[in-house]
């Protein structure tokens, strides 16, 4: 039993074509209808149209990433009840078209976050980077978030001030754009003013409250997923800690324990993202995987490298802080367990996540950072080989 190899494709405007994906050896597509505004229903017609396009290329639409959870559902304000109803209709429409695995996240306002998209590695390829001191500069002196200074030490603040005073305008622009405009696949992008207004909507929402809102949302949608045979899989916070004063509640083993204690059905599942969870040194990845293995419905496989200052960047898929050998061994064992139980979902869909920008992709006029073709092709090839080798050995 092998993992199902999938590839995130951003739709007809993606510079990586479906035929490229086939040549990379993936069989499944991970896709979302990015043109539909957040909160609106995904109609059967729109879903079917995309599905036909994918199937015409000889691929299958295996996973939705993401069916976005509207901010008003996270804050439980205004017409959030209607938005949850819309979400359920989209779930039903996806099933009517034969798509059963749905990835989503519950990160307030921001999705995944990096400060630099072209960190030059030793070999000349580019990686995505999260620089903790640049984040502090942004928070304190660019965004000028009210109360931000409470989150940092006096020394961090004075260092950030010095760094800000010497920062060229283009770096200020780069950091702001990366923080606010949304990275590939992010659900929203904001101007500085819009972002400040959004921050206000989270006043009074701490981690406990957000957790409660997540559980209330799940209590509504998981019964629908159960009835329809959908596997919902929540993506962890990336990075897995509080940012800009915003709570994040899907970052650790304890977070998962709470979520699954409250809403136990297996259709309440996980997108196990090794790169996101691996940023925290106190996250024991194999332990988290094994604790919830039967509800891992989707895998994002990549590695990150962190340093003592709280910075991290994307490593090669088989190096960095993630022990990919150990993780794939756990995955193989779980898949075999599912085979023995006759589970239909014994082969777990995986995708290589966040490749480096390298080779010809360095010269291409348009790439999606983290989602260029060749870096992910390399990642997929390495992961596939590792899985093949372990499968033969154990
Ligand atoms: C980043 C992605 C995330 C992910 C969402 C899932 O590369 O892993 O944007 O798609 O958080 O909802």
CATH code, 23: 3.20.20.150
Token pair, residue 125, equals 């390829």
- Domain-located, residue 211: yes
**Residue that finishes a domain, picked among 196, 231, 248:** 196
Q: What is the pTM of this model?
A: 0.98
Q: Are residues 192 and 229 in the same domain?
A: no
- Is 105 a pocket residue for ligand 1 (Cβ < 6 Å)? yes
- Domain-located, residue 124: no
Q: Are residues 235 and 310 in the same domain?
A: yes
Q: Are residues 177 and 212 in the same domain?
A: no
**CA-derived radius of gyration, the chain:** 20
Residue 288, SS3 per DSSP: helix
Q: Are residues 163 and 230 in the same domain?
A: no
- Domain-located, residue 122: no
- Is 276 a pocket residue for ligand 1 (Cβ < 6 Å)? no
Give me the pLDDT at residue 126, please: 98
- Domain-located, residue 325: yes
Give me the pLDDT at residue 250, please: 98
Atom index in ligand 1 nearest the CA of residue 238 equals: 11
Q: Are residues 175 and 214 in the same domain?
A: no
Residue range(s) defining the domain that contains residue 164: 129-196
Q: What is the pLDDT along the chain (394 residues), one digit of tens a residue?
A: 999 999 999 999 999 999 999 999 999 999 999 999 999 999 999 999 999 999 999 999 999 999 999 999 999 999 999 999 999 999 999 999 999 999 999 999 999 999 999 999 999 999 999 999 999 999 999 999 999 999 999 999 999 999 999 999 999 999 999 999 999 998 889 999 999 999 999 999 999 999 999 999 999 999 999 999 999 999 999 999 999 999 999 999 999 999 999 999 999 999 999 999 999 999 999 999 999 999 999 999 999 999 999 999 999 999 999 999 999 999 999 999 999 999 999 999 999 999 999 999 999 999 999 999 999 999 999 999 999 999 999 9
Q: Show which residues are catalytic.
A: 235, 273, 300, 353-354, 371
Total of domains in the chain: 2
Atom index in ligand 1 nearest the CA of residue 271 equals: 6
Q: Which residue has the tokens 């306002």?
A: 109
- Is 111 a pocket residue for ligand 1 (Cβ < 6 Å)? yes
Q: Are residues 188 and 227 in the same domain?
A: no
Q: Are residues 308 and 330 in the same domain?
A: yes
**Residue that finishes a domain, picked among 170, 196, 222:** 196
What distance in angstroms lies between residue 392's CA and the mean position of ligand 1's atoms? 32
Give me the pLDDT at residue 187, please: 86
Give me the pLDDT at residue 30, please: 98
- Is 371 a pocket residue for ligand 1 (Cβ < 6 Å)? no
Token pair, residue 137, equals 């500069």
Q: Are residues 109 and 237 in the same domain?
A: yes
- Is 235 a pocket residue for ligand 1 (Cβ < 6 Å)? yes
Atom index in ligand 1 nearest the CA of residue 185 equals: 9
Q: Work out the burial of residue 191: count CB atoms within 10 Å of its CB; fewer than 13 is exposed, 13-18 middle, 19 or more buried.
A: exposed
Residue 294, SS3 per DSSP: helix
- Is 303 a pocket residue for ligand 1 (Cβ < 6 Å)? no
- Cα–Cα dist 95/171, whole Å: 45
What distance in angstroms lies between residue 67's CA and the mean position of ligand 1's atoms? 11
Helix H or strand E encompassing 104: strand 101-104
- Cα–Cα dist 394/382, whole Å: 18
- Cα–Cα dist 255/248, whole Å: 10
- Domain-located, residue 121: no
DSSP state of 293: G
Q: Are residues 295 and 370 in the same domain?
A: yes
Give me the pLDDT at residue 188, please: 87
Asked if omega into 186 is within 30° of 0 (cis), the reply is no
What values do phi and psi take at 356, rounded to 5?
Answer: -75, 155
CB 252 within 8 A of CB 214: no
**Residue that finishes a domain, picked among 196, 215, 244:** 196
Collect all residues with Cβ–Cβ distance below 8 Å to 45 and sequence separation of at least 6. none
Cα-Cα-Cα-Cα dihedral of 291, 295, 297, 303, to 10°?
Answer: -10
Nearest CA to ligand 1 atom 12: 104
Handedness of CA 179, 183, 186, 191 (dihedral sign): positive
- Domain-located, residue 87: yes
What distance in angstroms lies between residue 359's CA and the mean position of ligand 1's atoms? 25
């Amino acid at each position: 039993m092998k993992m199902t190899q999938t590839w995130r494709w951003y739709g007809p405007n993606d510079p990586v074509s479906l035929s490229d994906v086939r040549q990379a050896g993936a069989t499944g597509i991970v896709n979302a209808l990015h043109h539909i505004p957040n909160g609106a229903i995904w109609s059967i017609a729109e879903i079917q149209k995309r599905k036909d396009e994918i199937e015409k290329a000889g691929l299958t639409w295996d996973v939705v990433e993401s069916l976005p959870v509207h901010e008003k559902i996270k804050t439980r304000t205004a017409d959030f009840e209607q938005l949850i109803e819309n979400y359920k209709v989209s779930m039903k429409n996806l099933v009517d078209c034969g798509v059963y695995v749905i990835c989503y996240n519950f990160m307030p306002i921001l999705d995944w976050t990096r400060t630099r998209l072209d960190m030059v590695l030793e070999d000349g390829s580019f990686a995505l980077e999260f620089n903790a001191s640049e984040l502090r500069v942004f928070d304190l002196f660019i965004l000028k978030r009210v109360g931000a200074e409470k989150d940092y030490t006096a020394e961090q603040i004075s260092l950030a001030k010095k760094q800000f005073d010497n920062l060229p305008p283009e770096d200020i622009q780069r950091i702001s754009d990366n923080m606010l405009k949304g990275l590939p696949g992010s659900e929203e992008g904001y101007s500085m003013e819009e972002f400040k207004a959004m921050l206000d909507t989270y006043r009074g929402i701490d981690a406990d409250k957000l957790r409660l809102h997540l559980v209330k949302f799940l209590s509504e949608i998981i019964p629908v997923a159960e009835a329809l045979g959908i596997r919902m899989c929540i993506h962890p916070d990336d990075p897995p800690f509080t940012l800009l004063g915003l709570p994040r509640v899907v970052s650790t083993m304890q977070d998962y324990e709470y979520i699954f204690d409250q809403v136990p059905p297996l259709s309440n599942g996980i997108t196990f993202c090794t790169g996101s969870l691996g940023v925290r040194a106190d996250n024991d990845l194999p332990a988290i995987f094994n604790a919830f293995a039967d509800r891992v419905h989707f895998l994002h496989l990549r590695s990150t490298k962190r340093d003592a200052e709280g910075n991290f960047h994307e490593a090669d898929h088989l190096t960095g802080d993630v022990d990919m050998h150990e993780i794939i061994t756990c995955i193989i064992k779980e898949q075999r367990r599912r085979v023995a139980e006759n589970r239909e979902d014994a082969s777990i869909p995986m995708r290589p996540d966040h490749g480096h920008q390298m080779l010809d992709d360095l010269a291409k006029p348009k790439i999606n950072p983290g989602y260029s073709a060749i870096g992910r092709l390399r990642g997929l090839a390495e992961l596939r080989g590792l899985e093949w080798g372990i499968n033969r050995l154990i």
